[in-house]
Amino acid sequence: MHKKLTGRWLLTMVSLLVAVAGAHAQTARLPNVTILATGGTIAGTGATSTTTVGYTAATVGVQQLIQAVPELAKVANVKGEQVFQIASESMTNEHWLTLGKRVNALLAQNDVDGIVITHGTDTMEETAYFLDLVVKSRKPVVLVGAMRPSTALSADGPINLYNAALVAGSQEAVGKGVLIALNDQIHAARDVTKTNTSTPDSFKTPELGLLGYIQGGKPFFYRASTRKHTADSEFDIANLSALPQVDIVYGYANMNTVALDAFVAAGAKGIIHAGVGDGSLAAKVKPGLVAARKKGTIIVRASRVGQGILARNGEANDDELDFVAADTLSPQKARILLMLALTKTTNTKDIQRMFYTY
């Protein structure tokens, strides 16, 4: 009897020790972060150390970007993949589909805890929002770039990359949706925008606000998005080889319908009207939009203003015109949501629901 108790006690103690060691190893294990490089200024080079405009984007490879920041190895087990090497003004729907599918494949792997995407800043907010709608995981996805090329004095790329890897490997960023991290700040993909052509503090979420900061090697979140994203999204690109064509018509005083008519004639399935003010329709343009709608083109009323709610039935009778209101999405992000909406429906009531959901 005594021997049996001793044996059972020993077995219990050994099991406990193994469990504690395993837990410790788990917490002590660095997160596995994959860096997907696409190009941009973070990978750019200038003729001199003071060249901060007029440099060449998308010239430095992902391994070189990683080697330039040896501190990365202290915060994550990092692997690099060169997905593209382009300036982001040249990003296409095809690039987005390739990138989104690669992100989903990687995040489905148990040995990947988070992803960093290095990207040009010109269209970073658009790629981020596209991924916010199609990534099928709650794991962190963090887009990062730089406003100064890698060769510049006080280049911002290395610290931005280090911070992005910290966020991508953190528990705090799980479930927060796709993020943009630059200049020690963390922004939600849906609401962030580039606000300055050249300064390192260019990315802002003007009225709805950033989500948090990176400080002292840690991310600090103070807010979260109230809209659906990533794992809760109804959109799926797994079997898509193309996205419906959606174009943006920019509003201004004395505008005409030349661009609108050309887009519709070229087969656009949707038009984003980036109107003045609260999405107002110029008298000379409204008939062209009504005619396009009658041909089956989906019309979304957005605003060029940048902040505020684009109110349904505000500056136009959307119910009567069968138009969709963009809510608070910028024209460039409304285009992304409409493209994905059109992969599922052409019903304007359902599309309007999507604009109030994401």
Q: Does 52 bind ligand DGL (CB under 6 A)?
A: no
The binder of ligand DGL chosen from 118, 121, 170, 225 (CB under 6 A):
121
Map the footprint of ligand DGL across residues 299-328, applying CB under 6 A.
Answer: none
Q: Does 279 bind ligand DGL (CB under 6 A)?
A: no
Q: For residue 130, what is the enclosing H or E element?
A: helix 124-134
Residue 113 or residue 156: which is nearer to ligand DGL going by CB? 156
| DSSP-assigned states of every residue in 152-171 | STT-SHHHHHHHHHHHHT-S
Name the minimum Å distance from CB 39 to ligand DGL. 6
Which of 130, 56, 51 is closest to 86 using CA atoms? 56
Q: Does 330 bind ligand DGL (CB under 6 A)?
A: no
Q: Which residues contact 66 (CB under 8 A, 6 or more apart)?
A: 35, 72, 78, 80
Q: Does 40 bind ligand DGL (CB under 6 A)?
A: yes
Q: Does 233 bind ligand DGL (CB under 6 A)?
A: no
Residue 122 marked as a ligand binder:
yes
Which of 161, 156, 217, 208 is closest to 187 using CA atoms? 208
End-to-end CA separation in angstroms for the chain: 65
Residue 155 or residue 268: which is nearer to ligand DGL going by CB? 155
Cα-Cα-Cα-Cα dihedral sign, residues 9, 13, 18, 23: positive
Q: For residue 176, what is the enclosing H or E element?
A: none
Q: Does 151 bind ligand DGL (CB under 6 A)?
A: no
Map the footprint of ligand DGL across residues 84-103, applying CB under 6 A.
Answer: 87-89
Q: How many residues bind ligand DGL (CB under 6 A)?
A: 12
Name the minimum Å distance from CB 120 to ligand DGL. 2
Closest residue to bound ligand DGL by CB: 120
Alpha-carbon distance of 205 to 26, in angstroms, equals: 35
List binding-site positions: 88, 121-122
List binding-site positions for substrate: 88, 121-122
Q: Which of the residues are catalytic?
A: 41, 121
